[in-house]
Amino acid sequence: MIIQPNKLFKICIIFSCFFIIQQIDAAFYSKTFCEKTESSLFRSDDFIIYFPSESDTLISVADRFLGDSFFAWRISEFNQITGIKAGKGICIPLKPVYPGGIKPEGLQNVPILAYHRFGKKAKGDIVVSEENFRQQLQLLKEKGFITINLSMFVDFLNMKQDIPEKSIIITIDDGYKSVYEIAFPILQEFGFKAELFIYTDFIGQSPNALTWTQLATMQENGFSVESHSKSHSSLVTKYENETSVDYQKRIYNELADSKKILETKLKSDIKFIAYPYGSFNDEIIELSKKAGYIGGVLAYPGTNTIFNSPFHLNRFIISSEDDLTKFSTYLETLESYANDYKL
């Protein structure tokens, strides 16, 4: 394998960071350093070596040096720690260490889960019981998963941002009221967030549907609301005797009207489309782009790595019959280079 010079330089910097930390740590504990309780001892464009004070936490250090407490995971993963100790040097990466999740051992994969409805008991194929949902989230928590949103993931695909090694995206389609009544409080309990894909003709028009107020409340609590079209009709199906021009106009309106309604009601920028029934083609992608979307999610299982188009993001549809053993198979976070990519 030929290592590019700039990559080799970064590798050297990484090892230099740990070497310097070890040397300074040794000096610190042998008292050759005078009462160093808080200091930045080395800084480059890529890294900071820092000695935390008693009041520091991973969250506070990330907020101070990286501008966002969310990036506490980056410090944790890079130093292989779960907390920081006063006087114990840490290395703070200022830039993504593995842009696009390209690692020596393979490609970072982000599982995307898709739910629909929830109930006290499982029912049919898509009504997941409250108990099963709680068990699934408990498993995610135990395995160290962190929920990210689709905007973060698209920035990751474009190599603009790194994401936690165990990133996961939870999506919920349609807009049933059980999302607010059952899923929302359980997600909050575990510190997770979700992407809500809504078809706007449904909201407020059925006793089983969410209200605009409920959607706004979840949005205020960090959940993202995105589009699932206006009427949930198949985007790839042409009506009998419908011309190509009329078909394209109808589909464009399905996409654009839903986006406009959501943006007007919720005062937010709608960026993603969940293709109804997972049906799409190149024409649908082009119409989605024309309507102002930057990505789309499917209803088919598969990996999501740097090789995926933002308009071709795979999802695992969570069934009411999925036990934890099967659910666990959806949670792979590394895709081997030996695999054959078929996107």
In a domain, 79, yes or no: yes
In a domain, 212, yes or no: yes
Are residues 91 and 110 both part of a single domain? no
Distance, CA of 318 to CA of 295 (rounded, Å): 21
Q: Please compute the mean of the pLDDT values over residues 283-311 and round it to a whole number.
A: 97
Q: Please compute the mean of the pLDDT values over residues 144-172 and round it to a whole number.
A: 96
pLDDT band at 122 (very low <50, low <70, confident <90, very high): confident
Are residues 148 and 214 both part of a single domain? yes
Number of structural domains (the chain) is 2
In a domain, 14, yes or no: no
Q: Please compute the mean of the pLDDT values over residues 180-209 and round it to a whole number.
A: 97
Residue 265, pLDDT > 50, answer: yes
Are residues 274 and 224 both part of a single domain? yes
Residue range 78-104, pLDDT digits in tens: 999 999 998 899 999 998 888 899 988
In a domain, 9, yes or no: no
User: What is the token pair recorded at 102?
Assistant: 């390209």
pLDDT band at 41 (very low <50, low <70, confident <90, very high): confident
DSSP codes, 208-255: TBPPHHHHHHHHHTT-EEEE--SS---TTPPPTT--HHHHHHHHHHHH
Distance, CA of 299 to CA of 197 (rounded, Å): 12
Are residues 177 and 204 both part of a single domain? yes
In a domain, 118, yes or no: yes
pLDDT band at 342 (very low <50, low <70, confident <90, very high): very low
SS3 77: helix
Are residues 69 and 190 both part of a single domain? no
CATH number of 302's domain: 3.20.20.370
**How distant, in Å, are the alpha carbons of 110, 256, 292 from that of 309?**
13, 21, 16
Amino acid letter, 181: E
In a domain, 101, yes or no: no
Are residues 41 and 180 both part of a single domain? no
Are residues 234 and 286 both part of a single domain? yes
Are residues 90 and 120 both part of a single domain? no
Last residue of a domain, one of 66, 95, 124: 95
**Structural domain boundaries enclosing 41:** 32-95
